[in-house]
Amino acid sequence: MTSGVREPARKADAETVQRRTVTTLVTSQVVGGLGVSGGIAVGALLATEVLSSEDLAGFAQSAQVLGAALLALPAARLSVAYGRRVGLGFAYSLGVIGGVLAVVAGQIESFPLLLLGTALFGGGTAAGLQARFAATDLAPAAKRARTLSVVVWATTIGAVVGPNLVGPAGALAREIGIEPLTGPFLLGAVFLLLASLVVTLGLRPDPLVVARSLRTVPEPIRRHGVIRHGLAAVSQSPRAKLGLAAIVIAHTVMVSVMVMTPIHMQHGHASLELIGLVISVHVAGMFAFSPVMGWLTDRIGRVPVIAGGGVTLLVAVTLAGTAQEGHSAELTTGLFLLGLGWSACLVAGSTLITEGVPGPDRPAAQGASDLLMGLSAAAGGAVAGLVVGTLGYGVLNAMASVLALALLAATAHPSVRSNGGTSAATRAD
């Protein structure tokens, strides 16, 4: 009789913690997004100012992407060892340090210091990505994708509003006597500090710690070889492998095409305003419809949504790759669908990874997925520049279509088609 009372009580407590967790994560995503997006907008411009040349300016953006990927590793390790609060707080704190270093680099005109600063600034991106997984620790299986997608959606606010703060941040920098282009990094450091405080104070109790306490079988706390162990866990599940493939392929396709689209438009003499509009439409496709993707993932299944995302990516690169230089409705539609396909694959793929491995292995597997998606984005962006410079924007999109087709082929494999809902690992929780 006692146990009959205890279990509902534990469930109710978990539900209370989950509501607080989602509220905290949404808040941190909004604040953190405001911090990160401004730095992204001016990173290459600040590098040009420091170097007095455009030749190596793109390295500042690459450093931020690569930093986000590499910082996923220590953030995941800390989450596994001490809980989400410590892991996310650590990543956001590194972003704060990176923002301050970028400001100093701009003042003393040090390019190496700027690269270090932008790489650490990527900690904000790493925290934002891992936050989506924190939302699933206590989420019921039937609502897991929707919960994850709400946290992803919250990024929309920061991604849209953040770049519009570049001007005021530059004016503030002038007022306090520093280089105007460092203003967004200074403001970014303040926002990332606030995001760190939000997760540090708000994730109490920690959702991962609570989830572990609710499991009937105690699990060992792994402090070494976290990423290697996470990849090993993913390799044991065909559905988790599909989830990882969906995230990595979609991210590679999206970043590769997106970063070269402004150059393609510039070749056709499109204005900066039009370029900004197309990228804004793309960002809206990435984040604004993520709750819809979450609902569909829970409603019709993880694999069908990934397949739909693959088809959407294929249509997107076909439209973008055949669009004329400059601005056109065809290109705008292609970039919107590019973001939408990425959203479908990210939400459904992240859900599959979460469900495809046993509970004790999830944080490690999730960290490994963020590391690989970040590294693939950095590599894809670098290769994309070479391809467009030598072969053209159309060829880049044709190469991206091969990746989309490979993802579609993976969704048709019999090993991932069984059990369209929850996995065995999930049922065992």
pLDDT at 218: 57
pLDDT of residue 277: 77
Q: Which of 49-53, 121-125, 260-264, 274-278 has the highest mean pLDDT?
A: 121-125
| pLDDT value of residue 5 | 38
Intrachain domains 1-214 and 224-417+425-429 with the same fold: yes
**Could you give the CA distance from residue 71 to residue 426 in angstroms, rounded to a whole number?**
28
The contacts of residue 368 (CB under 8 Å, 6+ apart) are 76, 227, 230, 231, 234, 244
How far lies 115's CA from each of 69, 71, 320, 347, 391, in Å? Answer: 15, 15, 31, 31, 29
120-124, 228-232, 292-296: lowest mean pLDDT where? 228-232
Provide the pLDDT for residue 370: 86
288 — phi, psi (to 5°)? -65, -30
Q: What is the predicted pLDDT for the residue at 1?
A: 38
Q: pLDDT tens digits for 68-92?
A: 988 988 998 899 889 999 999 999 9
pLDDT at 285 over 80: yes
Q: CA 326 to CA 170: how far, in whole Å? A: 29
Instruction: Give tens-digit pLDDT for 10-56.
Output: 555 888 999 999 999 999 999 998 888 888 767 767 887 888 765 66
Q: Which CATH topology does 1-214 take?
A: Growth Hormone; Chain: A; (1.20.1250)
Is residue 4 within 8 Å of residue 64, measured between CB atoms? no
What is the predicted pLDDT for the residue at 57? Answer: 62
181 — pLDDT class (breaks 50, 70, 90) = confident
Give yes or no for residue 311 having a pLDDT over 60: yes
Give me the mean pLDDT over the 197-226 stretch: 79
> How far apart, in Å, are the Cα atoms of 185 and each of 175, 181, 315, 383?
15, 8, 36, 27
The pLDDT value given to residue 386: 83
Q: Is the pLDDT of residue 427 over 50?
A: no
pLDDT of residue 58: 62
Q: Where are the domains of the chain?
A: 1-214, 224-417+425-429
User: Domain 224-417+425-429, CATH 1.20.1250.20 — does that match?
Assistant: yes
One-letter identity of residue 191: F
Task: For the chain, give the mean pLDDT.
Answer: 85
Question: Which DSSP string do the residues of 63-74 spell out, in sequence order?
Answer: HHHHHHHHHHHH
227 pLDDT band, cuts 50/70/90, is confident
pTM of the model: 0.79
